[in-house]
Amino acid sequence: MSVVGIDQSLSGTGIVEISHDGNIIRQQLFSPGKLLEVRRLDFITNKICEFCSEIKERFVVAREGYSFASKGRSVFNLGELGGCIDLTLFRSKMPNLVEYYILPPTVVKKYCLGSGSVKKDSSYLLLVYKKLGIEFPDDNQADAYMIATTLLGFKKAMCLKQGLDHINFVKSLDGIKKEALLSTLLSVKGSGITKATIKKIESVDFAGHVSKVIGEYKVFSR
């Protein structure tokens, strides 16, 4: 099973397919150019479907969630774009599309870069290179890869069928990555999940907690 990450943007949308080992299979950046409004939405969603329809095996998809601190008219346009992507993939007849998620940008950044508050400034791509060891020409492509990588992390952490591989994967996660995967539970009173207790959670229990969190991000499954 492969994993697809989408970083939707009005000016340049990044999309990537990675393998179960986390290696990049394909990546693409496409720009709508001077297209606006409905024509721009149609162009972007069609490109996403074209990319996904070429995947030969079963796959899961995640796109970037909304940044609620954003301001300006583009917020509404990005909301429209996100909704169009959701509905288009939901209505699609792609037989290999198994699940679709929306991941909060803070969770993605914390899992991949170590902090959910990293800003997109002139040093952003350099930080991505230092943390992930991969050089990207565009931040949208970098974010698409990180979205896919984070979803893959969720899937590996909750897959008990992997046996020893699952246990070793959970053991390989540092405290920050574990916090990212259990982020929504950290803020829930009575959950028993704190930064102090995360390190003590056994792999089986960790998988159960991760399953609860990823369930909140799921849009649909087939």
Domains and CATH numbers, the chain: 2-221 (3.30.420.10)
Distance between terminal CA atoms of the chain? 14
**Given a cut of 90, is residue 155 above it in pLDDT?**
yes
Taking only the tens place, the pLDDT of each residue in 174-206 is 999 999 999 988 877 777 788 888 878 888 888
CA distance 210 to 181: 6
**Given a cut of 80, is residue 96 above it in pLDDT?**
yes
CA distance 22 to 214: 19
Could you tell me the pTM of the whole model?
Answer: 0.95
